[in-house]
Structure formats: structure tokens, C-alpha cells
Structure 1
């Protein structure tokens, strides 16, 4: 009888070990809003903006 009571625990343990570590990774997301303006204060339609992560030096 003791073996049967350990079976659910062992199955749960094996299931937890089967989950890839990436499932526990944190996801970083952000949103930027705003307007690009020229020196006179007028908005610049269709302006292209490049954002660079200073830690990884990746631009998007």
C-alpha cells in the first residue's frame, strides 16, 4: 500500500522536471508613446524612431 501512496507524488515530481526552464523565464515588455517634434514644436508625421537597449546594444 505504501507504494501506491508515493505514486502520485513521484508522477508530480517527474512532471515538474519535464517542464523546460524557459517556461519559468520572465518576459520583459514595454510600450512607448509620444510625438516627434522639430525645433519649432511642430509634429513630424511618419518619423522613424530607433530605440536601443543600452545593456544589450540591441536596436529596434
Structure 2
């Protein structure tokens, strides 16, 4: 299980659909890897029409 980074993470994302972790279990944080299965958590879905830099906060 990964640990939650208390600092925001800045990521550059390409155009398209991205799934970000909301459960703090992902081994590929800040991206969802499906580790939430069996919990009430669902990934945050971002649909970008153009490349964008985003800040992901815990």
C-alpha cells in the first residue's frame, strides 16, 4: 500500500481520459491502479480536451 503524500503533486497530462487515485492504495499514485476494488472509493475521472498541467492534492 502506498503512503499518502501530504504535498500536492503536479502532473502534466495529455489529451484524453485519466483516472486519478482517491483511495491512497495505488502503487502508481497519483494514478488509479484498481487497488480500490472492494472499497467505497472510485477514481477521479478527468477528461481533457487538450494537454494540461494539474495539481493533485491528497
TM-score (norm 1): 0.24
Greater per-residue strand proportion: 2
* Structure with bigger RCO (C-alpha 8 Å, 6+ apart): 2
Q: Which has the higher helix share?
A: 1
Larger radius of gyration: 1
